[in-house]
Structure 1
Amino acid sequence: MDLDTVRTFVAAADTGRFQDAADELALTQQAVSKRIAALERGLGVRLFTRTPRGAELTIDGQAFLPHARELLRVAERAAASVRAGRRPLRVDVIASRVAPSGLMRGFHQAHPEVELDVVMLFDVETAVGALRSGTIDASFRAVAAPGRPLPPDIASVRVLDEPLHLLTGPGHALAGARSVTPARLAGHRIWMPGIVPGTEWAAYYDDLRAEFGLTIEATGPNFGSDALLDTVADTPALATFMGEHTRLVWPTGHGLRRIPITDPTPVYPHSLLWHRDNPHPALAALRTHLAALTHRPAPAGTWTPAWVR
């Protein structure tokens, strides 16, 4: 059923005159008459009776009127559900405990009026596909991974360089250090079971390992952060890397140590990605909020892979 004819019918019913309905809809009276006639043919009934004073609803017209109004209300709700600014801003933060999740919490605190949907997508290809299809509005990623440039319709901006920390148990040889250099980590086993080949973070740690001669192991199943913390706490031969802004809580008895890495400090580059044609007004607010964090390119004394923008 054509909504324009339904809208014309409702206007004519409300005004009682085809000419008044035409004026309200910026149409000619002839166009209103044609639309009403088309609707009547489609329904197989007469909706109006012409009178000297205008047009009166028939019994069938009176029966159809409340349903016509509901059709228009449903159509408006359907359009509003996808209209820019009327739906939540959907942002991919990768995981709940990492730095991008914290950035979005800060945005929510600064802009509580913006409705958010926070999602967690696995890899950059999935995230870019979701951006291009409109499934999400923005994603936090490291760009651009080797051999995988961003499509021209995807924009990005660097928003945070997150320093890496070494996490050890109390029995580890480096547990008492106030800081460590990458060179000092050579020969120690760094265990990171969450690294998955083909992801942007795998590319990052591959370059980190090659640059400083590190031993980074991804063996064994990934049972999550709690199991990782338990193992590191109980195994003096193992340590792991953790972002400075990663939020993890462990039992006091674990005695874990977070140790800054210096000279140079490896930093993980977080960028915000979005589709260039995305009109959602809250996306502009998010970009402005992140720009206010005054990100600067990694200063001297830090390290990122050569492929990072």
Structure 2
Amino acid sequence: MPGSVVLLVTSPRLPAGVLTAQAWDVVRAHPVLTAADSEQADALRAAGASVTVVEPAVTVLLDALAAHGTVVWLAAPDGDEQLARELGLRLAREPGLATLELLYGSWDPPGARVLDAVTVMDRLMHPETGDAWKRAQTHASLAPFLLEESYELYDAIRDNDLDAVREELGDVLLQVVLHARLAEDTPDIASRFTLDDVAGDLVAKLIRRNPHVFAGAEVGGIDDIIANWEQIKQAEKSRASAVDGVALSQPALALTAKLLHRVARAGLTVDFTPADPLGAALFALVVQAHEQGKDAEAALRTAALSYMDAVRRAE
């Protein structure tokens, strides 16, 4: 019977030593070879496995195979693809020499690549070898970029360009990661927070505001879900006014529509006419759109884009 070379691939995004039961059985039963010491190799040794650092070469593996019958190759984070390819070609030419098995000791969990973004940002923010521009930023200086990236994402969604949506979501994520990294380094210790804190707050909020999913609350449909969300949000924020918490930096049409929505939801009747004639006319149009269930911001945006097309035709 030919021996076996087990190519053990593990996720570099999980703590060292987090392996499947099958992987642990294999590394404890057979000698483990690897190209360099690593946290994973140290974790295997600490658990009683025999781990030896050797030259990453097919001949070295075959020599170990002849001595032990079965050997495990602990792959580097990139999977040691070149070595695996060379070994596979050699065994294809000499099929009776050995078998090559691929064993996944661990997999990347969903969202694991966000850890890569954090690692790259740590490198970029290094005080000596990082990027000077990023280290010089503040939350205030980055704010315009967040708006710009959000608008570019909006454009991609409007155009139904999913490739662009994917790219622009990454640019928005960059803003989130960078803001969190700046907060981690702020001189005000009491105000520091990390990306983990941001994610933890989000998880807690999602669980708290969706009791129909996490706490067995009964709902009759989407309207009940929205009502529950708003009631929970109101209790959390303890706002004195129906218009507290409205984002004031949004475009004026969207801001007006949001205020009208809040007032209507609160069941209020407000007698109001803007003093400026132009403001009064624009406000009246947004009120009319709101009463008709239309989006004034989207309507004006559509008209503006049509005007752009007309300008290009005229040119």
TM (normalized to structure 1)?
A: 0.22
Structure having the higher strand fraction is: 1
Greater relative contact order (Cα < 8 A, sep 6+): 1
Structure having the higher helix fraction is: 2
TM (normalized to structure 2)?
A: 0.22
